[in-house]
Structure 1
Amino acid sequence: MTLLSPTRRRFAGTALALVFALGAAGSALAADTVKLGVIGGDEERIWEVARKVAARDGLDIELITFSDYAIPNEALAKGDLDANAFQHKPYLDSQIAARGYKIVPVGYTLVEPIGFYSKKIKAFADLPDGASVGIPNDPSNGGRALNLLAAHGLIKLKPGTGLLPTVLDVTDNPKHVVFKELDAAQIPNLLPDLDGAVINTNYALGAGFSPQTDALVQESRTDNPYGNFIAVRAEDKDKPVFRKLVASYQNKEVADFIQAQFRGAIQPAW
């Protein structure tokens, strides 16, 4: 993978100090340039297509890739990014509640139904008594994982918990599952030590899984509340440059690329 000058991409690690090194220009935003934070891998590949579409409309998208979910909103809030595109509404809501970010969505991108994977069993029903099950440790994706497991009968959850249940809201656990709350990006690496785990699709694809064939159970693709979107600082939401940015992604070329490359594992959300 080419890392530098044709696409001017830069990689950010998990250390917050790297965020503050992302360009000294701060929050300055040229009318024809957007510094956009995305998760590296398949989402970055999709944005490379959108970047070419944008260039034809006079918009230069500079992609800055991250390896996990922890930093892009902080980078956006601090002015080191102009926009990011990696999260769904429940995740942003939890980040706003925890950190007070003034960040808003401006246009949907994709939806990646989350799934349950295992290297030890072949069917979800075969989970043993006392199974160790990994789930993401952030509130929105952890809640998403628990709702998936409840939808497939492994557990029951307290009524009214909505999209953000926690393990404390599990009211019935007939198989005595032991939940391991783990960093979402690390779950694929830890899967051999677990009986199974709920893994976000971008990390599953990055680990070589095929969601269509390897996920033992998966979210529905219809009426899914976890559509990802482009987000900007609230003060910037009406800037014309972001209408161009959204249009560059919500484009037939991008939709065709998603369908051809991912065949349903990732879908357009607009």
Structure 2
Amino acid sequence: MSLFRTLVSAAVAGLLISSPALAGETLVVGATAVPHAEILEFVKPIVAKDGVDLDIKVFSDYIQPNAQLVSKQLDANYYQYRPFLIDYNRERGTDLVPIVPVHVEPFVAYSQKITSVDQLKDGATVAIPNDPVNGGRGLLLLQKLGLIKLKGKAELDQPDDPLPGQKDILENPKHLKIVELESAILPRALSQVDLAALNGNYVLEAGLDVSKSLYIERGQDGKNIWGEYLVTRPENKDDKAILILAKALNSDATRQFIKDRYKGQIYPAF
């Protein structure tokens, strides 16, 4: 974790140094649609004043934004928190780096069939994301609801702490059938399952009311473990265009936009 803290600290320090405007440099940034691409659209005219033309590429999955950043089809991306980034780097031998956190999203338990967790019947079907990080977070959420018991810690102390898998379930008293589905399709699968653990961005994108969730994990732990970061390749971390974008994403104007636009459904992480 010292590497991540050092990189973030260095980037933030760099933001404090005024840089001359660039001469129309294009920065290609990948993002999921809501809220990431919307926030990037908000800062697009801000960075344009400093000579950065922001080209926003919208993705519907969690793999391609990193894959295309590694292959240099993107200059940066903004859609992920550090546990996901750490797992991606470890599994693929890459070295993508976080620059600044921008916002925090809720992670929720949602159902279209029940209004209380107590109403879950024996053998009910519960859906969680199918990637190791978000799936592990889903299992931790089920544990918080008292539906299962896991071995290991109930919370992450650091972004690189291991997350549980289904093999780590010690107790499942309601004999829940836990199925793993791609995060992006979970909102569309709500009618087919009894309960689902959903990522905040897909809740917003699907137009679901976060306040109607059975449980909301707000992810504000004081450590920004679940903060969504601007991410780039290591050779670009000190690039002027990247730092101009980072400064705009961490500006007072962006903080106010997040508060006004999302009305407490997501939260500034800076």
| TM-score interval, smaller chain | 0.7 to 0.9
Which of residues 141, 144, 155 in structure 2 aligns to 1:148? 141
Alpha-carbon distance between aligned partners in 1 of 2:95 and 2:254, rounded to the nearest angstrom = 29
Specify the alignment match of 1:7 in structure 2. none
1:160-199 equivalences in 2 (<5 Å): 160=153, 162-199=161-198
1:204 maps onto 2:210 in alignment: no
Maintained 8 Å contact 1:113/1:266: yes
* CA RMSD across the alignment: 1.7
1:16-56 Cα offsets, whole Å, 9 max, x none, are xxxxxxxxxxxxx9873211001123321111111121112
Give the direction of change, closer, same or farther, for the CA distance of 1:120–1:152 in structure 2 (3 Å limit): same
CA separation of 1:160 and 1:221: change in aligned 2, threshold 3 A: closer
Contact 2:24 2:51 in 1 (8 A): no
Gapped runs of 5+ residues in structure 2? 1-21, 155-160
Aligned mates of 1:30, 1:159 — CA distance in 2: 52
Summarize the alignment of residues 122-137 of structure 1 with structure 2, pairs less than 5 Å apart: 122-137=115-130
Q: 131-140 vs 51-60, which deviates more? A: 51-60
**Secondary structure in 1 matching 2:122:** coil
The percent of aligned pairs where both chains have the same amino acid is 39
Q: In 1, are the aligned partners of 2:99 and 2:229 still within 8 Å (CA)?
A: yes
Count of residues in correspondence between the two structures: 241
Match of 1:16 in 2: none
Q: Distance in 2 between matches of 1:33 and 1:76?
A: 15
The residue type equivalent to 2:215 in the other structure is V
Shift of 1:180: 0.5
Partner residue of 2:214 out of 213, 216, 223: 216
* Structure-2 residue corresponding to 1:12: none
> What do residues 73-121 of structure 1 show as CA deviations (whole Å, max 9, x unaligned)?
1100001000000011111111112211220001111110100100100
Contact 1:41 1:206 in 2 (8 A): yes
Cα deviation for residue 220 of structure 1 reads 3.3
| TM-score, normalization by structure 1 | 0.85
Unaligned runs of 5+ in 1: 1-28
3-state SS in 2 of match to 1:41: helix
**Counterparts of 1:222 and 1:202, CA distance in 2:** 16
* Whole-Å separation in 2 of the counterparts to 1:238 and 1:220: 31
Q: Which amino acid aligns with 2:178?
A: F
What CA distance in whole angstroms lies between the structure 2 residues aligned with 1:154 and 1:56? 52
Give the whole-Å Cα distance in 2 for the aligned partners of 1:144 and 1:30: 43
Q: TM-score, normalised by structure 2?
A: 0.85
Is contact 1:49–1:253 with CA below 8 Å preserved after alignment?
A: no
Secondary structure of the 2:226 match is: coil
Matched, 1:61 2:54: yes
